Structure 1
Amino acid sequence: MAFCGVLLCGICVGMLQKANLGVDPFTCLVTGIANLFNSTYSTFYLILTAFLLFLVFILRRHYIGIATIINLFLTGIAADTMRSILDNIFPHLNLTLRCGLMITAIVFTCLAAALYFTADLGVSAYDAIALIAAYKFHLLPFKYCRIITDSICVLVGFSFNVTLGIGTIITALFMGPLTQWFKSNIAEPLLNHNESIKTIA
């Protein structure tokens, strides 16, 4: 579940890049901070991810695991590969196809997040922040914590001249609730069913 979730997440990033209708909230944050310091995305992606990993290590190191490592190394490769495949198959997309690609990517990104959250083998540093707020400090249910963290990222990015798209707004407002739905209705039942089979065996 962890591997499939991370792989699917990377594929969906490539689909969102091809749709070109707005980046996800964390990418928005990183790009905005990079703009502030007149630097590159890759530089501040590493800096911000390292900072978040440090916070997660201090607050709830349980969320750092093999899936965290898989996420670091596999997501980018999967995204670049998917983007390349789509570029070769569909050199030019009209607005309708771009919207369909964006919606598909957002839905399956939420499914991917639910899979590797539930696998409980570690999550990305950014994903861990909302999980810690919801399950360690019990501030709010996860879906609302995720809306808040995503919205903060979008606001920071917008403040530092990142161009927002409809995809950015949709992910900021709906990714948390949709991920929670997939987690409760698909990922957790799948894991529990597997555990029941192992117990019977």
Structure 2
Amino acid sequence: MYRIKRIIMAFIGVTLCGFCVGMLQKANLGVDPFTCFVTGIANIFSSTYSTFYLILTGALLLLVLILRRHYIGIATIINLFFTGIAADVMHALLDTVFPHPSLAIRWSLMLVAIVFTCLAAALYFTADLGVSAYDAIALIAAYKYRLLPFKYCRIITDSVCVLVGFAFNVTLGVGTIITALFMGPLTQWFRSHLAEPILTHGQIKTVV
């Protein structure tokens, strides 16, 4: 039962993350830090995003396998196959419901997507059945090498990605800045107060 719960948490987390990507795409107020990084590197070589997404993700996977292969697992595979599908489904649905969204709707979509992306990350991190290669970097720095608490490691990796993207002509948006600064702390909050209590006791921690 414990393993089944972990698999369910991983599946929900990864799928929810995909939905949030679709919401951010529809909001069009800035991409997430890793997308910003990949786009910046692709610009250096005048290549496509998809080409360098595969190259950079492959390089990170190799690094994670060397440093802490524990983070590569079922959720990593689910991430590869379901995140894109979930994003496309959500984007298509939002295109139908909001064909020409106002600025207020775009801001609402962005903020909701950022919050639920952090919740999604907390669920599949806590399930401990593998994470994306990029997510694993901050986790390794925080929990294997204990360089800093996770929220600060995530802020650093996200900020580096944003700076690289900005240096190589990626247009930043408010969504990019918000995700770079707040995803780490908010993901850690959801892990401590919701994901971990659900996994270990089936109860959500009460915030006093």
Q: TM-score range by the shorter chain?
A: over 0.9
Superposition map of 1:62-141 within 5 A? 62-141=70-149
Aligned residues: 195
How big is each residue's C-alpha offset from its partner over 1:85-140, in whole Å with a ceiling of 9 and x where there is no partner? Answer: 10011101111110011000000000000000000000000000000000000000
Partner in structure 1 of residue 4 of structure 2 = none
**DSSP-derived class of the 1:153 partner:** helix
Off by >3 Å, runs of 4+ in structure 1: none
**DSSP-derived class of the 1:39 partner:** coil
* Whole-angstrom distance in 1 between the partners of 2:95 and 2:38: 25
Quote the sequence identity (%).
81
Q: Is residue 66 of structure 2 the alignment partner of residue 58 of structure 1? A: yes
How big is each residue's C-alpha offset from its partner over 1:174-199, in whole Å with a ceiling of 9 and x where there is no partner? Answer: 0000000000000000001149xxxx
Partner in structure 2 of residue 198 of structure 1 = none
State the TM-score, normalized to the length of structure 2. 0.93
In structure 2, give the amino acid aligned to 1:73.
F
Partner in structure 2 of residue 22 of structure 1 = 30
Partner in structure 2 of residue 177 of structure 1 = 185
Q: Is residue 170 of structure 2 the alignment partner of residue 162 of structure 1? A: yes
Partner in structure 2 of residue 152 of structure 1 = 160
State the TM-score, normalized to the length of structure 1. 0.96
* Whole-angstrom distance in 2 between the partners of 1:81 and 1:100: 19
User: How well do the aligned residues superpose, as a CA RMSD in angstroms?
Assistant: 0.9
**DSSP-derived class of the 2:125 partner:** helix
In structure 1, give the amino acid aligned to 2:152.
Y
* Whole-angstrom distance in 1 between the partners of 2:142 and 2:124: 17
In structure 2, give the amino acid aligned to 1:63.
Y
* Whole-angstrom distance in 2 between the partners of 1:131 and 1:192: 20
Unpaired segments of 5 or more residues in structure 2? 1-8, 204-208
**DSSP-derived class of the 1:139 partner:** coil
Partner in structure 1 of residue 56 of structure 2 = 48
Partner in structure 2 of residue 11 of structure 1 = 19
